[in-house]
Amino acid sequence: MKKIGVFTSGGDSPGMNAAVRAVVRTCIYNNIQPYGIYEGYRGLIEGNIKALESKDVSNIIQRGGTFLRSARCKEFHLVEGRQKAYENILKHNLDGIVAIGGDGTFTGANIFNKEHQIPFIGIPGTIDNDLFGTDYTIGYDTALNTVIEAVDKIRDTASSHNRLFLVEVMGRDAGFIALRSGIGVGAEAILVPETPTYINELIAKLESGTKNHKQSMIVIVAEGDDKGGAYQIAEEVKKHCPNYDTRVTVLGHIQRGGSPSALDRVLASRLGNAAVNALIEGKTNLMVGVVNKEIKFTSFEQAIKHNQTINMDLLKLAEVLSC
């Protein structure tokens, strides 16, 4: 390994910059020239590739987003697009690539490796925490803290006015953010894509809260819940409970931004370092993660297909503590 490229792809997540920094500094430590690939797969196709020095990643560990930027790239889905990317890799003499992103990023890397045999190591960077092979993905902890801080403030105003708030959080296919943030804020109900939502059960839970003289009620809704997002569920609640002062808050993309937490900075640093070491050791087509506090490697195919499963014990805990 003489030259290693690094890029960020898909949705941004807090801690991506810390991971890029770790990749660049580990390369330099091992006398390898790091290259930044700007805007993910689009940058590979367009040749937006630049040699990086240590100073290029100074003062970024605390910054959210990704200074390498990210982009969706439909052209990479085509054989012709991937051929352009391959030609640019050869042009810059890259011996391996570190790809930071989620399942879409790793799917692309897996296909590209099989076509062109370029070594890839993936780093899980997504707030959804839905990849198999790691206990936590980069950005998940920061997103949780963002949600909890926001809902704590919503609880203040909800208590002042005896209101019911339905708060929608990110999670199109996975309810990890909803579940843990819901427990963290003491939500009265948590609705996630992994389990069916029954409006009658939700209404019964809310009515129980009213009988227990709760001054406020919070329902956390993952955007991918089977009954729809927070607005759709709020309409159903209003039909059954017209006397409730019901409000909806959609937290949206604030969950992706912000300075990464200490946990995410350390996790990103460990994974960035391990990714470069893996390429040096000749590994390829693997995602690096942390399982039980230890660095572990999982094939791209496993990481993508065997999505992380939700902890049903935590769902039960949330139900017990919401009574």
| Contact by Cβ (8 Å): 144, 169 | no
Residues 30 and 63 in one domain: yes
| Contact by Cβ (8 Å): 128, 255 | no
Choose the weakest-confidence range: 114-123, 158-167, 216-225, 257-266. Answer: 158-167
For 8-70, the DSSP string reads: E-SS--TTHHHHHHHHHHHHHHTT-EEEEETTHHHHHHHT-EEE--GGGGTT-TT--S-TT--
Residues 187 and 213 in one domain: yes
The pLDDT assigned to 149 comes to 96
Residues 159 and 241 in one domain: yes
Task: Please state, rounded to an integer, the average pLDDT across all residues of the chain.
Answer: 93
CATH number, domain containing residue 234 = 3.40.50.460
Tokens representing 116 are 């062109």
275 part of a folded domain: yes
What is the span of the domain harbouring residue 22?
3-139+260-305
Give yes or no for residue 271 having a pLDDT over 80: yes
103 part of a folded domain: yes
Residue 137 confidence class, pLDDT cut points 50, 70, 90: very high
Residues 30 and 116 in one domain: yes
Contact residues for 153 (Cβ-Cβ < 8 A; gap 6+): none
Percent of the chain with pLDDT over 70: 100
Q: What is the pLDDT of residues 274-313, one digit of tens each?
A: 999 999 999 999 999 999 999 999 999 999 887 777 889 9
Residues 73 and 210 in one domain: no
The whole-angstrom separation of Cα 312 and Cα 185 is 18
Tokens representing 189 are 């109900």
| Contact by Cβ (8 Å): 189, 205 | yes
Picking from 205, 216, 201, the residue whose alpha carbon sits closest to that of residue 249 is 216
Active-site choice (128, 130, 225, 264): 128
21 part of a folded domain: yes
310 part of a folded domain: no
321 part of a folded domain: no
The whole-angstrom separation of Cα 202 and Cα 204 is 5
Count of the separate structural domains present in the chain: 2
Residues 105 and 135 in one domain: yes
Write down the pTM of the prediction: 0.92
| Residue 12 falls in the annotated catalytic set | no
Residues 108 and 233 in one domain: no
Residues 181 and 101 in one domain: no
320 part of a folded domain: no
Q: What is the pLDDT of residues 206-242, one digit of tens each?
A: 888 777 777 778 999 999 999 989 999 999 988 888 8
The whole-angstrom separation of Cα 85 and Cα 103 is 19
196 part of a folded domain: yes
Look-up of token digits 């941004």:
12
CATH number, domain containing residue 18 = 3.40.50.450
Residues 247 and 294 in one domain: no
Residues 251 and 276 in one domain: no
Tokens representing 172 are 């199109």
Residues 277 and 135 in one domain: yes
CA distances from 262 to 1, 130, 166, 269 (A): 31, 21, 29, 11
318 part of a folded domain: no
Residues 122 and 224 in one domain: no
Please give the residue that has the higher pLDDT: either 58 or 208: 58
